Each structure stands twice: as structure tokens, then as C-alpha cells.
Structure 1
Amino acid sequence: MIYLIDVCAHDGAQIVTLRFGTVGYTTQPSDDPADAWFEPRIIQPGNYERYAFSQSATSGSARVGAGEIILANPDGALDHLLDYAFDGYQLTIYGLSSFDAPWASRTVMFVGTIEQAEFTWKRVVLRIRDRLAELDEPIQTTDYAGTTIAGGMDEAEGRPEDVKDRPKPLLYGVGKNLPAVAANMFDHIYEVASNGVASVDAVYDRGVALTASGVYPDLAALRAASIASGNYAVCLSPAYVRLGSRPAGQITVDATEGTSSADRSAASIARRILEAQGFVAGDDFDAASFDALHLKNPAPVGLWTGTDEMTILQALNLILGSIGGYIVPDRLGMMHVGRIELPSAAPVVRLDRALILDQEGGVERAATGDQGAGVPAHKVSVNYAYNHAVSDANQLAGGAEESFVAFAGEEWRSVSAEDPAVKDRHQLAVALTFDTLLAAEDDAEAEAQRRLALYSQRRDLFRVHIKSEFVSAVDLGRTIELAIDRFGLSAGKHFLCTGMEEDFERGTTILEVYG
């Protein structure tokens, strides 16, 4: 097999496409692109790693896949590329069966971006990343100006000593006890979410519930409103709360974003975040995978960013991780979501003894990188209903309701699912705990039961060594069948692909599969 790459870069005047190959290759006049020359300079056509989470893990945070391509440059003919900007530009790796194979028969092996180009005396190294790198950017790019220094100003940008240059908060889904930001303390205006909310459900002053007195269309109308002491009024987009009098202490808010309950599931919120950042269904992400994940778990979740820095990827990890989910780009750079579960889809490939590279390691059963290293769990606890403003009774007013005091005193609520029989067989059986953004107890209980069913039995994580040409249909989140005369797999068993390590120079791929 030969490999060809398209590399986009900016030469200072425009975006250009550079083309290289493991051998020289020219497309035909009827091809697109026509008469394109791929210069034979590739030493290493690409090695990179991608995982649904991290290596050997079935939960946690996704990370950006990374690798490198090495070009030969002993003659210095590529030295002029030092002046090119490569960072953030797209790279595509193609595979062809031979140097005389038609361009139309090419297989797209990888679509990603370039982090940077590094130059040595004889080589140019292109550091490559998958498309998750595009999500490793701030989710909120609007900061407080810190210019609200007196009452009567038609703004709510906070004081310079309080929030200047800090991100404005965002809310997705359900938010409980949010410590609203004093955006205009002189006029008693507090910001809840700069992206707007569907409703403000309650406002508390040191835990004492205030009385709702109206909804206003914008900040100017809210600031001009007459509000009685002990009351509050709101503007929903952006979401502000204004009090009728100076507060006694910390102001916290319960609010809900999303026009319907269906808009508050992990999958729906993840899609909304991508779309808010300019990603387009069909071009950048697979809408069908989001719809499928929503059907699997439509439970409401809630993420509030506060005034801390947070990346898009961090937000998606928190949201999707609440239901055991993940987001991954496929080989073509299209982003998909899914969740860790026993595979139910038909396998995209059947791997038998003939396809496995014994000399490379064959099939290895490995411990997972999860809590307990894959030892079965006798108990699973799920934390839910995150409290953003933990307060003890001394910090709350005497008039705070007992239920609020109980809620405010703990960071999480927690539910558990147990199977004591697991400990009868596994002396080192573990108790697993998962932090989630689930909003409701019933949904947390259902997720605890689901994860107990998954983790209370022996599951296998295999590393399978095969030729890269046999895995063109395989991708993260796909089902594969492993059928070998070892490890009880002679009848074949379905696994979920959770990791891929590609080495195109050697023509080998290591698949991590779980089931």
C-alpha cells in the first residue's frame, strides 16, 4: 500500500495545499484534483492514537488524538515551509493499493488538523491531531468588561476588582443553587446565564426564598422596573435577576435552560453546544448519533460554567460522561457520540486468526484503566443534582427552609446500586463512584443500575494487532467480532471498539475492544 497526504497551510498570502507521498504519484486530467503531483518525501506516513476516553479506559474524559507524519528533507527543498503557518489547518491521509492504482480507488485513512511543523537537518515532522483539537477552545469567549462602577449605568459588566476579564456564565439544562454573578451590584442586578434561560425557577438570599414579581424583555427594562423589597424580577435572555432591595448575603438561583425537557438531555445539550460554536450537522457532526443517544437516555442534565475558564471539550466530557457517553471523530473527521455499553449493532468486520498479526503481539487481554482496573464491581454509586454553592447552616439566614438548608449543605446527592453476590466470588470486588450532571434522583438510580449491570461482571478489554488494510471499516464506537481459538472466543464474540493505534509506516493497527 502507498500513502498520500494533502496538507493545508497558509503561505502568508493565501491557503495552499501541499501534496506528498510515500512514492511519486500524479492524478489523471479527469481526476479531482486534476494532474496533481504528490512529491515522494514521506518517510513516516502517519502514526497516531485515538481513544473514546483514554488508553484502556471505559469512562472519564476524552482526549485529543495525536501523532506525527515525517517528511524527508535532506536537500533542504522544504526549508521554505518554515515561513508557512500550519497550525490548525486540515490534513488528509489517503491510502492506495499501489502506485498505479486509480485516484478514485483511494481510501481516506484520516482527516485531522496540524498542530505545528518541526524542522531538523534532514526531516520535517508534522504534528497531527484529530478534530477533537477544535473543541479544545474556550466555550465562552465573552468576558466581563468590569466597567460597572456606579448605579444608573445601562450595563451589567461587573466591577473591575470582582469579575473583569472573567468569562460570563453559561447554563445548559437544569441549574440548582447557582451563585449568580453580581453584574451590577449598585442596582442589585445579578447575571445567571449570558446564553439565556427558559425560566428562573427560584431566587434565594442567604437561603431565604424571594418572591417573583415579573419578567422583563431586556436589561434596560429590568433596571427601570419598580420592585418591592423581598421580591425579584428577571430578564430571560440574557438571564438576569434584579432584587427589590440590597441583599443580606449570597444570591443563588434555580434556573432552567432549554425550551422543553427533550432539549435538556445530554445528547441534546451536546448538540446545542456544538451548534452554538459553529459546528454544522452533516458537515462536522453526525446528527443521527446524537438522536440515537438521546433515545437511549433522555434524562435531563445541567451544566453551569460560572466565571471559570472551560473548554468546549471539557463541557462535553462532563455532559456526556453523565450517562457514560463520549464524543469521537471518525476517520473522516465527522464527530459522533455514543456510550459505553455491550455492543448490539452488527459487526463491521470479523477478525479471525488469518487477519491477526501473531508476530506483533496477536491478541492481548489487558486490565482496564478504570477504577479497580476492571475487577468486577459489587456497588455503583452515582452522584447527581450538583450544588454549585455549598453552604452550612451558619452561612444561611434563620428563615431558610429546612429542605433548602439540607440541600445547600452537600455538594452532591447520591444513589447506589448493589449486588452483594459479586463479593462472594471476587474478593477484591470494587465500589465505583461516578460524578454526573444528572438532575433527578430517578434518573440517577436508573444509571446506577445500568452501570452495575455493565461492571458487576467480568468484561474483557483486548488489544488486537492487525494489518491496517483490514480495518478501513472500523472506527471508534463501532462493533467488531473477534473469532479466534483462544480466550473462549472460538464461537465469536462482539466487542465495542474503544481505541485505535495506527502505524501506517509498518502497515499495522492495534484495536482496543471492550465487551
Structure 2
Amino acid sequence: MPYLMRAEPYDASIGAVRPLFFSDLGFTSEPADSPSNTYFVRRIETPLAVRRSLFSGSAIGGYSETSFGSATLANDDGKLDWLSDLDWDGRLVEILYSPQERPALADFTVLFSGAAEQLVPGDEIEIQLRDLLVLLDVPASRGQFGGTGGVDGTAELRGRDKPWLIGRRRQIEPVLINAANNVYMVDPAGFSSLLAARDMGVTYPAAVGDFASYTALVAASLTGTNVATSKTAGLIRLGQKPNGRFTIDAEGVKVSGAWVYRFADLVRHVVTSMTTVTGASLLDVSFAAFNGLQPAVLGYWCDGSSVPKVRDVIDQLADSVGAYWGFGEDRLLSLGRYDGPAATADFEFTERTIIDLTPRPVDRRMKALKLGYRPFGVIFTADELDRVNVSAADLEAFQNEYRWTAVATNAAAAGASLLATEEEGKTLFDTEVAATAERDRRLSLFSAKRKAFDVVVPLTPGLTVGHTVKLTDSRFGLSGGWRGLVLEIERDANDETLKMTVQG
């Protein structure tokens, strides 16, 4: 069947991307097509071999998995050797497919749309492929201190990344940027609210004022236990040096004048402010839907001493709410949540269209679960706390990284499965109510008895991870039709098959 490739590597000689068009059988677009009157050079050897997973590893929820694969071009004559002079990494590669023997360009559908990892030259040129998650493998950073003084920090801070805060976090330690004036930085992009400030666990009085800039904050008259802020500049100033470790509870950055704290809004902010991905590359309907699914307060704090990748930040947030996320063939970043198969299947396959059906093992049922919430950025030792002026409850709390929900148990799973597991998980939720709701949702899902299959079907454009499929077969209790969620796919364009792992 016909395949087309569209690629846009960067050509330094012209200072721009150079569009390239290839095919397996030879193809020319029509005058009304886009691109028009273009010959897709007959060079494709292997159209596509690619794997994509909903989650990393066997665990369901949270951690993304970059899809990877390759396509090859015939180059026995050496006429494509010049392709290795172009810059391919991160550049667009699209593979299109049509089941028709004599298709028009409009008959092709996108089978893969992602980025090149690199080009490997030879008699058979290999273009290694990744999906667009590679664009998020960049530092989650607000920039570095220059060490020139003021908000740029001292010489000792030169080169260190600036701290940043999104959502709500407790017991975090802002970065001292001016010891003479006791000025600390929370986030150069600003923060919304200072909820509490403490010295060795002892709470300071309420802030005496908020100032418009670093200059105004330093010029303010402060004494003793006075605390002042410049929330717009992301700064806090103390009237005197603290006796021990200075920590705060705070609410982070505002976006368009509003504090952001929900999972989808935090992902949007991190992606659009810390990567080259713009808002136009986000599937807005999925972000809006997730805000409805999970409106709870989350938080993430980076003090700048070590800098995570943007993808790692999103993974940690996603792990808290059971989300999956990634780029689709539409090249848009979307969010979803594993709630089991949907009530209506996106695709259906019967014995006539199922090439191979193999049961596969599933993870053990879960019988009990507890979740940690409200993580503390600073975990004190007993000697670091003011034992005289800190309450007994806080003395205990400040020495623990998390608070915990009660353990919830599913009696049916415990009674039916002798190997059912007792689990615990750590989240970035701020409240017990939100953590308890997520605990109960997960336990309901993972305490149920499940099935899983590896299924091989004809190459099906549009079918990808996160879709629900309905399988009907005389074997394995599927005669009445069974719905499962697609967790992983492998496309093999040479065989024109798609292998998927389905669970429900």
C-alpha cells in the first residue's frame, strides 16, 4: 500500500528548514493539493516501525513514555548522502498511509507525526524517530543568577538556577540573595501569597507590607520579627537574620492575574513558559476536561540547587492525579486519566479482523492503599527546631516529609485474592480531602479483577494509546464483546499490522 514521508530538517546553508518528500511507490500531488505539483521521491524502504506506550513500565498512571521507532530510505546509489549534512534532531517527520491502490493526496491519513532523533547515513539511511515529548526533555528553569547583585544574586550564586514555585507548597526554604538586607527569593516570576513564615519552626507575625519592587522592598524600614514581601518580584525580606532555617508556606506564580494550582493549569504553565512548545500546541479541550476531573490544589517547588527536566516535573504532577499525557498524531499535547475503558469504544474488532489474540498477565489486584500528601520541602531534625516555642504537634509534623491518609481496604479483593497487594503512594496534593478522594478512586480501579490481551489487527490509522477498543471473539470470554483500554501499540508498516496491549 502507498506510503508518503514529509520531513523538515534544517539546512544551515539557507538558514531555514528544507521540506523533503519521499514515497515507497512514487507519487505526485495535484495542482489543488498542498503541497501542489510535488513529486514524492521513490525512496522509502521501511515506511515505519514504531512503538508507543501510555505509561512507562507496567505501572498504570503518571509517568510518560516517549514513543520511538524508525523509517529507512534506499540509498544504494549514494544520491541521498547529502541528507547527512542537514540538521535532523528535533525536526518534523510525518509518515502518511492510504489503503487505496491509487490514492489522491486527500486519501492519505497520518500514521505518525513526530520528530527525528537523528539520521544514520549508509546504503540504507535510517531516520530514528521520537514523538514530540523530546521537546520537553529540557531544564525546568526560570534562568540563572548572574551574580551582579540585587535580584541577580551575589557572586556566590552566579550560575545557579533561580528558584520557582507553582501551586501551593509547605515548609520550603527560599533562596537568600542579599544577606546584608535579609532578602530571599521565592520565584523571579512572582508568587501569589505568603501563607506562613517560620524561623526554626516558630511562626513570624503577619507580613507588614507588600512592595512593588526589589528596590522598594530593600528601602522599607523593618526591624525585629518584621516580614515584608514583594510578591510581584517573588521576594521576601526579614527585619533581622533568622536564628536557624527560614521556611515558608506559599502559593506560587500567577498566570494572567490568577493563581494557578490545578494539574492541567500547572502543566500548561510549565510547558509554555519553560519550553519552545506554545499554547497553540496544546489540545485545549483535554486541558479543560481535566480541570473538571481534578480541580484539587497541587504544588511543585524547585530551589534551583538541582534542576529537573520539564518532562520529569509533569510526570511527578501526573503521578499524583493518575494522569497520562503526550503528543498525538495531530502534534498536540493532550491530557487524560486512566479510569478504565470508556463506555463507548473508539474502534471495534471481531474474529474476522483480529489477526492474533493472546492473553497476557496482569498486575496483582490491590486490596489496600494509603496516600501521602502535603509534602514538606524541609524536613527538620529535632535539633533544628525551637523546642520551647514550637507546639508539640508541629515538632512532630515538621520532622516528617508527608502527611498520610488512613489506609483504605477493599474487602472483596482481600477475600478473593490471597496475593492482593497493600500499596502506598506519595502525591503532591495539599489537602487530605483531595488525597483521600484519589485514594478511593485508585482502589476502586485496581482492586477489580482485570483482563489483558496482546492483539494484532490490520494497520488502523487513528488508533493509538488511550483509545478504548471492543473485542469480540469466541475465546477467553469475549463472545459478548469486551471493552479494554489500549496501553501500548506497535505499528509495523512493512507487515501492515498493528499490535496493541489492551487492558480492562
User: Equivalent residues in 2 for 1:221-260 (5 A)?
Assistant: 221-257=216-252
Q: Quick one: which of 483, 504, 509 aligns to 2:493?
A: 504
User: Which residue is equivalent to 2:260?
Assistant: 263
Q: TM (normalized to structure 2)?
A: 0.94
User: Which residue is equivalent to 1:439?
Assistant: 430
Taking the aligned partners of 1:311 and 1:489, their CA distance within structure 2 comes to: 43
Q: Quick one: which of 171, 174, 183 aligns to 1:180?
A: 174
Q: Quick one: which of 281, 284, 291 aligns to 2:281?
A: 284
Amino acid at match of 2:165: L
Is the contact between residue 219 and residue 235 of structure 1 (CA under 8 Å) also seen in structure 2?
Answer: yes
Structure 1 position 319, deviation (Å) = 1.1
Is the contact between residue 196 and residue 249 of structure 2 (CA under 8 Å) also seen in structure 1?
Answer: yes
Amino acid at match of 2:89: D
Asked if residue 134 in structure 1 is aligned to residue 135 in structure 2, the reply is: yes
Sequence identity, in percent?
28
User: Equivalent residues in 2 for 1:480-491 (5 A)?
Assistant: 480-491=469-480
Q: Relative to 1, partners in 2 of residues 1:487 and 1:258: Cα closer, same or farther, differing over 3 Å? A: farther
Deviation track 1:132-179 (CA, whole Å, cap 9, x = no partner) reads 11111112150122344xxxxxx1333444x43222122111111111
Taking the aligned partners of 1:55 and 1:22, their CA distance within structure 2 comes to: 34
Q: Quick one: which of 457, 460, 467 aligns to 1:466?
A: 457
Is the contact between residue 359 and residue 454 of structure 2 (CA under 8 Å) also seen in structure 1?
Answer: yes
Taking the aligned partners of 1:230 and 1:408, their CA distance within structure 2 comes to: 21
User: Which residue is equivalent to 2:466?
Assistant: 477
SS of residue matched to 1:491: coil
User: Which residue is equivalent to 2:159?
Assistant: 165
Taking the aligned partners of 1:268 and 1:141, their CA distance within structure 2 comes to: 18
Asked if residue 293 in structure 1 is aligned to residue 290 in structure 2, the reply is: yes
Deviation track 1:56-87 (CA, whole Å, cap 9, x = no partner) reads 43124102211111111111111111211111
User: Which residue is equivalent to 1:365?
Assistant: 359
Q: Quick one: which of 326, 329, 332 aligns to 2:327?
A: 329
Asked if residue 394 in structure 1 is aligned to residue 387 in structure 2, the reply is: no
Taking the aligned partners of 1:397 and 1:480, their CA distance within structure 2 comes to: 59
Q: Relative to 1, partners in 2 of residues 1:164 and 1:458: Cα closer, same or farther, differing over 3 Å? A: farther
Q: Relative to 1, partners in 2 of residues 1:143 and 1:367: Cα closer, same or farther, differing over 3 Å? A: farther
Taking the aligned partners of 2:185 and 2:124, their CA distance within structure 1 comes to: 53
Is the contact between residue 229 and residue 237 of structure 2 (CA under 8 Å) also seen in structure 1?
Answer: yes
Is the contact between residue 9 and residue 18 of structure 2 (CA under 8 Å) also seen in structure 1?
Answer: yes
| Gapped regions of structure 2 (runs ≥ 5) | none
Taking the aligned partners of 1:401 and 1:144, their CA distance within structure 2 comes to: 37
Amino acid at match of 1:265: R
Amino acid at match of 1:295: G
User: Which residue is equivalent to 1:27?
Assistant: 29
User: Which residue is equivalent to 1:44?
Assistant: 46
Q: Relative to 1, partners in 2 of residues 1:303 and 1:346: Cα closer, same or farther, differing over 3 Å? A: same
User: Which residue is equivalent to 2:87?
Assistant: 85
User: Which residue is equivalent to 1:338?
Assistant: 336
Structure 1 position 11, deviation (Å) = 1.8
User: Which residue is equivalent to 2:312?
Assistant: 314
Q: Relative to 1, partners in 2 of residues 1:342 and 1:131: Cα closer, same or farther, differing over 3 Å? A: same
User: Which residue is equivalent to 1:371?
Assistant: none
Structure 1 position 422, deviation (Å) = 2.2
Structure 1 position 100, deviation (Å) = 2.4
Is the contact between residue 303 and residue 437 of structure 1 (CA under 8 Å) also seen in structure 2?
Answer: yes
Asked if residue 413 in structure 1 is aligned to residue 394 in structure 2, the reply is: no
Structure 1 position 514, deviation (Å) = 2.1
Structure 1 position 401, deviation (Å) = 3.1
- Runs ≥4 in structure 1, deviation > 6 angstroms? none
Asked if residue 495 in structure 1 is aligned to residue 484 in structure 2, the reply is: yes
Taking the aligned partners of 1:492 and 1:261, their CA distance within structure 2 comes to: 47
Is the contact between residue 111 and residue 462 of structure 2 (CA under 8 Å) also seen in structure 1?
Answer: no
Taking the aligned partners of 2:462 and 2:344, their CA distance within structure 1 comes to: 12
Asked if residue 514 in structure 1 is aligned to residue 499 in structure 2, the reply is: no
User: Which residue is equivalent to 1:351?
Assistant: 349
Amino acid at match of 1:367: P
Is the contact between residue 267 and residue 320 of structure 1 (CA under 8 Å) also seen in structure 2?
Answer: no
SS of residue matched to 1:82: helix
Deviation track 1:214-240 (CA, whole Å, cap 9, x = no partner) reads 111111111111112112101112311
| Gapped regions of structure 1 (runs ≥ 5) | 149-154, 369-373
Taking the aligned partners of 2:442 and 2:325, their CA distance within structure 1 comes to: 19
Amino acid at match of 2:262: S
Taking the aligned partners of 2:472 and 2:253, their CA distance within structure 1 comes to: 46
Q: Relative to 1, partners in 2 of residues 1:503 and 1:28: Cα closer, same or farther, differing over 3 Å? A: same
Deviation track 1:187-230 (CA, whole Å, cap 9, x = no partner) reads 21111122221111111111111122111111111111111211
Taking the aligned partners of 1:451 and 1:344, their CA distance within structure 2 comes to: 16
Q: Relative to 1, partners in 2 of residues 1:514 and 1:196: Cα closer, same or farther, differing over 3 Å? A: farther
Q: Relative to 1, partners in 2 of residues 1:347 and 1:504: Cα closer, same or farther, differing over 3 Å? A: same
Q: Relative to 1, partners in 2 of residues 1:466 and 1:55: Cα closer, same or farther, differing over 3 Å? A: farther
Is the contact between residue 378 and residue 422 of structure 1 (CA under 8 Å) also seen in structure 2?
Answer: yes
Taking the aligned partners of 1:261 and 1:456, their CA distance within structure 2 comes to: 39
Deviation track 1:440-466 (CA, whole Å, cap 9, x = no partner) reads 001111111111101112122322111
Taking the aligned partners of 1:332 and 1:385, their CA distance within structure 2 comes to: 36
- The number of equivalent residue pairs is 495
Taking the aligned partners of 1:404 and 1:158, their CA distance within structure 2 comes to: 32
Taking the aligned partners of 2:434 and 2:400, their CA distance within structure 1 comes to: 19
